[in-house]
Copies of this chain bind each other. A is one copy, B any other.
């Protein structure tokens, strides 16, 4: 009953097997191997256009390097106030962006709103040399609250950004969850909706360590290979990252994995909806749930071996407040979650 995070799971056997196979062969270093080339093709196929792909080791560096690509003196990144870059990356945007400032905005249900984004831009009038200038807007898809942006929501926000000369980044550490939750084509919630660059996560959905920065217009990636090298993110055995993505993207494996995680998340949501001792704080889109749980029930599931984290989110809907004796917790299912785990949790929860 591990609901702590999807990064507590191991890795998909298919992904591991691909790495093992590649390890028998080896190949030219620093991403010049054939498998990396294959993976570049897989990404272009996935997104229905030619893209530029830069595999890296972690989500934090994918975000930091992608955002830093737009850095200049006084540069500001507009983000949801609970975005990973503001809460879980200790100054990474500021550091890799050489002084770039992430500014947190309020949202609704974990998502930036058009009005909120416009207001964010208005704090930084064009031409002003004192306040800073927004150069990129970042959206987290799936959001930190387990919700998703619909294609038209992404498009509205991207339009606002582009009109004001800012680029659009998507933090897709849980992109696969969003795709599984929405049931849309990856292209439809990215470049077709105006996203310029994204962090494409694999680790939370069955890879060992595989994240990638994807530029939807390869011409805009100029210089990024050096930036990645400088950051110590050009792996000499590049086939190790490529092998993961090859297996992950091949044959729709990534959506199988994410689909399972989503289904387990929905089952878990149903358990909570039916519970007398717990209730959802926000309606989940896929595999990340926030729930208010009665303290005695929480003690009970933990005693039975459930792992789940207490949470503190300021972006819950205004009417989602814990009642006396309730605590807010987060539950995340993954590709490895089993129906038995969910069933056991249901049983224990009710006591």
List residues of A whose CB falls within 8 A of some B CB.
Answer: 2, 4-5, 7-11, 13, 16, 19-20, 22-30, 56-62, 64-65, 72-76, 87-92, 94-101, 129-133, 203-204, 208-209, 223, 225-227, 229-237, 240, 336
Partner of A28, one of B8, B59, B234: B8
Chain B residues contacting A208 (CB-CB under 8 Å) are: 19, 23, 237, 240
Provide the bound-state CA to CA distance between A94 and B95, in Å. Answer: 8
Provide the bound-state CA to CA distance between A25 and B16, in Å. Answer: 13
Query: A237 contacts B209, CB within 8 Å?
Result: yes
Query: B91 contacts A75, CB within 8 Å?
Result: yes
Chain B residues contacting A133 (CB-CB under 8 Å) are: 90, 226
Provide the bound-state CA to CA distance between A274 and B72, in Å. Answer: 48
Chain B residues contacting A2 (CB-CB under 8 Å) are: 26
Chain B residues contacting A20 (CB-CB under 8 Å) are: 16, 20
Chain B residues contacting A209 (CB-CB under 8 Å) are: 57, 209, 235-237, 240
Query: B129 contacts A225, CB within 8 Å?
Result: yes
Q: How far is the CB of A165 from chain B (nearest CB, A)?
A: 12
Residue of A27, A129, A133 with most partner-chain B CB within 10 A: A129
Chain B residues contacting A225 (CB-CB under 8 Å) are: 129
Query: A229 contacts B28, CB within 8 Å?
Result: no
Partner of A90, one of B65, B73, B236: B73
* Contact A90:B229 (CB < 8 A) given known A8-B27, A235-B58: yes
